[in-house]
Amino acid sequence: MIKVAFLGLGVMGFPMAGHLSRSGYEVTVYNRHAEKAMAWLDTYKGISAPTPKEAVKDADVVFACVGDDDDLRQVTLGESGAFSGMKAGAVFIDHTTVSAKVSRELASVAAQQGLEFLDAPVSGGQQGAEKGALTVMVGGNDKVFHRIEPIIAHYAREVTLMGPVGNGQLTKMVNQICAVGVIQGLAEGLHFAKVSGLDPEKVIGVISKGAAQSWQMDNRYKTMLAGEYEHGFAVDWMRKDLEIILNEASRNGAQLPVTELVEHFYADVQKMGGQRWDSSSLLARLEALSEKN
């Protein structure tokens, strides 16, 4: 029986750990705020531990899905962190979206301690996590990857090894770069349609099969037009991802003018009170600007 530990029971980690429990693994969970761990134990079979170090002590595989670089350092290297408790040869899989830099740092520390490390950010959102249909982009050793792939498959539709540690994160960054261009373009298009007096629903009906089509258009235009943003991928998280991306670009020399601009736009949305709004709320910013003029 494979024993696993899951660190971080947010909107993503909660159902992901749940899929592992339902698939028959012995799961020990840890969450910074213990109430979430209690709620998880009310729903799923498993045990909880008061610190990462205690959660991981018997685990063959340890999963983490926390907030950002600092949270990840805390849960791995901090006092009572996971790395000080893991047994030799155990595998640490990080599902958090963080910098490629911290992934490589942690992989290096893990190697020194006889541990394996994979970076494995996900896409597909809360719904993907709940349905067990995430896309997982993995960086790390291929032998380790092939060993843990069937475990991750319990909550993923697609698990792909993208190269050495850090490449999972870099792949997720490409995803976000493409997405923000799409979202801002769609927001500008819908905004233009509205101020021009067009019927935006009808416009989307006409243009959504051609060269302007996107997943965002298909899945977000209705809520954007309705000004409904209480769902999906929060602006705070998108902005965090964009900061990571722009830091990486300043290291590797990539030219990302629109990504950089849209990062500022998300800062504006935060100032409007939209921290928890879906990332499609860039339209709300354009509308606010338009009203001011």
Q: Contacts with a second copy in 185-204 (CB under 8 A)?
A: 185-186, 188-193, 195-199, 202-203
Q: How far apart are CA 15 and CA 44, in angstroms?
A: 10
Q: Give the count of residues interacting with a second copy (CB under 8 A).
A: 72
Q: How far is the CB of 201 from a second copy (least distance, A)?
A: 11
Task: Compute the least distance from the CB of residue 40 to a second copy, in Å.
Answer: 26
| Closest CB 197 distance from a second copy, rounded Å | 8
Q: Is 172 an active-site residue?
A: yes
The dihedral through the CA atoms of 198, 202, 204, 209 has a sign that is negative
Please list every residue from 14 through 53 that binds a second copy, using CB under 8 A: none
Q: How far apart are CA 277 and CA 172, in angstroms?
A: 21
Between 94 and 248, CB nearer to a second copy: 248
Residue 272 lies near a second copy (rule: CB under 8 A): no
Catalytic option among 172, 194, 222, 240: 172
Nearer to a second copy, 25 or 229 (CB): 229
- Say whether residue 163 binds a second copy (CB under 8 A): yes
| 123-132 long-range contacts, CB within 8 A, separation 24+ | 123/172, 123/175, 124/157, 125/232, 125/233, 126/11, 126/12, 126/15, 128/157, 129/11, 129/12, 129/14, 129/15, 129/16, 129/155, 130/15, 132/15, 132/19, 132/156, 132/157
Footprint of a second copy on 46-75 (CB under 8 A): none
| Closest residue by Cα to residue 64 from 79, 50, 47, 83 | 83
d(CA 28, CA 4): 6
Q: Which of 49, 53, 64 is nearest to 113 (CA)?
A: 53
Q: Which is nearer to a second copy, 28 or 167 (CB)?
A: 167
Q: Does 255 bind a second copy (CB under 8 A)?
A: yes
Looking at residue 77, its amino acid is: L
Closer by beta carbon to a second copy, 87 or else 157? 157
Which positions from 169 through 188 interact with a second copy, judged by CB under 8 A?
170-171, 173-186, 188
Secondary structure of residue 47 in the 3-state scheme: strand
| 38 versus 254: smaller Cβ distance to a second copy | 254
Smallest gap from Cβ 169 to a second copy, in A, equals: 10
For residue 100, the minimal CB distance to a second copy (Å) is: 8
Closest distance between a second copy and the C-beta of residue 141, in Å? 17
Q: Which residues contact 117 (CB under 8 A, 6 or more apart)?
A: 91, 92, 94, 103, 106, 107, 110, 111, 140, 165
Region near a second copy per CB under 8 A, out of 10-18, 26-34, 82-90, 168-176 = 168-176
Give the pair of three-digit tokens for residue 88: 């030799």
CB neighbourhood size of 143 (10 A)? 8
Closer Cβ to a second copy, 9 or 190, answer by number? 190
Residues 74-133 binding a second copy (CB under 8 A) are 100, 123-125
| Segment near a second copy (CB under 8 A); pick from 29-37, 60-68, 74-82, 252-260 | 252-260
Q: Give residues 210-249 in contact with a second copy (rule: CB under 8 A).
A: 210-217, 219, 233, 245, 248-249
CB-based burial of residue 94 (10 Å sphere; 0-12 exposed, 13-18 middle, 19+ buried)? buried
Catalytic positions, written as ranges: 172
